[in-house]
Amino acid sequence: MTNRTLRWITILAFGGVAAAAISTYVHLQLVRNPSYTSFCDINASVNCTQVYLSRFGSLGGVPVALGGVLWFVGTILLAFAGARAPAEAKPNVSGYLLIWSTLGLAVAMYMAYASFIVLKTFCVLCGVVYVTVIGIFILSGTSHAIPMARLPAAVTSDLGRLVRRPVGLVLTIAFITGSVVSIVWFAGQGASTTTLATAAAAMPVRTATVDQRSEFDRYWEAQPRTDFEVPLPNDIATSESVLVVVAKFNDYQCPACANTHLAYEPIFAKYDSSHPGAVQLVTLDYPLDPECNDQSPNGPHGGACEAAVAVRLAQRVGEGERMAEWLYANQETMSRETIVVAARDIAGIEARDFDEQYDATLEEVRRDIALGATLPVEATPTFVVNGVPVKGGLVPQYFDAAIAYELERAGGGG
């Protein structure tokens, strides 16, 4: 491998490590700071937040982006080793780089598939990572490398050389130690670095500390309140026990909507037990589907209008909740055909009935969309908690704190 090739690999690796490090920082801020807004959230289709907080964004509580940081640092160290290795060891390093870059490419392509195909969302920082990984893979493949069959034996001799080179040995130990420490630290953050969906399981016992609550209260007090009026069902509108109304502009094909649904469910259950009837969730439809939403002409969710209609039809026979759960769990394969079949299996709605009631029910969905446009809704989910808009949702303990704050403000206690 020529020094010029190694220089280009190093340059790309530095670019990749910068993008991955920023991604890791953004991910951590999103789940720890309720006031943080990611600079790379441009619209519903170009949105880092939806990627980071999806089930693909972390593994065992550790942001996937941190793995990118470690991979790029490892690439830089291998390129450094290739530049300083003796002539007989250079083909070995080329082989290591080829294997390392192949592994990186496989992970990057899987994440690209998850982002573009499954989530239908593009993350700018992730895109930089994909490009640099591809570039490193191509450059690694252009060099003469030791045959794979001889590589295990080469590893033994190269480890012997490494032990005899203090600089290389120190860098290797530092890399391994730093990797382990950083992974353990992020994993130790617990629910703070998991997806919202994973955090749901911890919510019954995980609430904000006194200091966190005090800091959150100051943040919440500073948020603007709108005079947005949530359309309430008659039984809720006439109830004197309702103190907190949470409106959720929702898209059943939106991964973040599914995550918040799972994560916030225990919170609503908790308040339903401690303050019966005081906290009410009202779900409003805002499908990012141009079929029914003129506010989203480039919306990425081609089955979201049908999904919204299916839930409304299922609600009429008391099966709306089961229909919604099915939609959230089957976002990857959602289409008109799968929705119609599910509506029949779950709510007994035959395909003919679905088609006959579709247009009229879609007008109900459009009324929610028009209401959202007055807010305005810029992404899903968007919550409105007693008039306070929340784009994208909050980490569960802060969402819990928001409801507790509003209960106290309304005289209902914490």
Integer angstrom CA distances of residue 192 from 46, 154, 185, 203: 24, 43, 11, 11
Residue 71: per-residue pLDDT: 95
pLDDT band at 202 (very low <50, low <70, confident <90, very high): very low
* pLDDT, tens digit (0-9, with 9 covering 90-100), for 288-345: 999 999 988 877 888 999 999 999 999 999 999 999 999 999 987 899 999 999 999 9
* pTM (two decimals): 0.63
Q: For residues 118 and 66, which has the higher predicted lDDT (pLDDT)?
A: 66
Q: For residues 100 and 147, which has the higher predicted lDDT (pLDDT)?
A: 100
The DSSP secondary-structure symbol of 228 reads: P
Looking at the fold, whether 112 and 151 belong to one and the same domain comes out as: yes
- Does an H or E element contain 321, and which? helix 320-329
Tokens 């530049």 correspond to what residue?
83
Contact yes or no for 346/314 (Cβ under 8 A) = yes
How many Å apart are CA 146 and CA 82, to the nearest integer?
13
Looking at the fold, whether 82 and 172 belong to one and the same domain comes out as: yes
Residue 53 lies in a domain: yes
Strands 62-63 and 279-285: unpaired
Residue 359 lies in a domain: yes
Report residue 109 as tokens: 């392509």
Strands 244-250 and 382-385: antiparallel
Contact yes or no for 337/361 (Cβ under 8 A) = no
Asked if the model's pLDDT at residue 206 lies above 60, the reply is no
Instruction: Tell me the CATH number at 400.
Output: 3.40.30.10
Contact yes or no for 200/193 (Cβ under 8 A) = no
The DSSP secondary-structure symbol of 280 reads: E
Instruction: Tell me the CATH number at 38.
Output: 1.20.1440.130
Residue 87: per-residue pLDDT: 75
Asked if the model's pLDDT at residue 19 lies above 90, the reply is yes
Residue 351 lies in a domain: yes
360 C-beta neighbours (distance < 10 Å), count: 9
Residue 149: per-residue pLDDT: 65
Residue 115: per-residue pLDDT: 87
Asked if the model's pLDDT at residue 222 lies above 70, the reply is yes
Q: What is the number of domains present in the chain?
A: 2
Asked if the model's pLDDT at residue 196 lies above 50, the reply is no
Asked if the model's pLDDT at residue 158 lies above 80, the reply is no
Contact yes or no for 79/6 (Cβ under 8 A) = yes
- List the 279-285 sheet strands across, edge first: 279-285, 244-250, 382-385, 388-391
* pLDDT, tens digit (0-9, with 9 covering 90-100), for 41-83: 776 678 887 788 777 888 877 889 999 999 999 999 999 888 8
* Residue where a domain terminates, one of 143, 169, 194: 194
* Residue where a domain terminates, one of 194, 228, 243: 194
Domain extent at residue 275: 200-409
Residue 74 lies in a domain: yes
How many Å apart are CA 314 and CA 349, to the nearest integer?
8
Residue 35: per-residue pLDDT: 56
Mean pLDDT of 213-223: 86
Residue 414 lies in a domain: no
Looking at the fold, whether 117 and 153 belong to one and the same domain comes out as: yes
Q: Which of 145-154, 174-183, 228-237 has the lowest mean pLDDT?
A: 145-154
Looking at the fold, whether 58 and 43 belong to one and the same domain comes out as: yes
Residue 190: per-residue pLDDT: 44
* Residue where a domain terminates, one of 165, 194, 223: 194
Mean pLDDT of 267-284: 94
217 C-beta neighbours (distance < 10 Å), count: 17
Letter for the amino acid at 310? Answer: A
Our CA dihedral for 18, 24, 28, 31, rounded to 10 degrees, sits at 120
Question: Is the sign of the CA dihedral 138, 141, 142, 143 positive or negative?
Answer: positive
Quick one: how many helices (H) and strands (E) in the chain? 16, 6
Question: What residues form DSSP beta bridges with 281?
Answer: 246
How many Å apart are CA 282 and CA 246, to the nearest integer?
6
Q: For residues 191 and 259, which has the higher predicted lDDT (pLDDT)?
A: 259
Letter for the amino acid at 115? Answer: S
Contact yes or no for 278/412 (Cβ under 8 A) = yes
How many Å apart are CA 147 and CA 351, to the nearest integer?
59
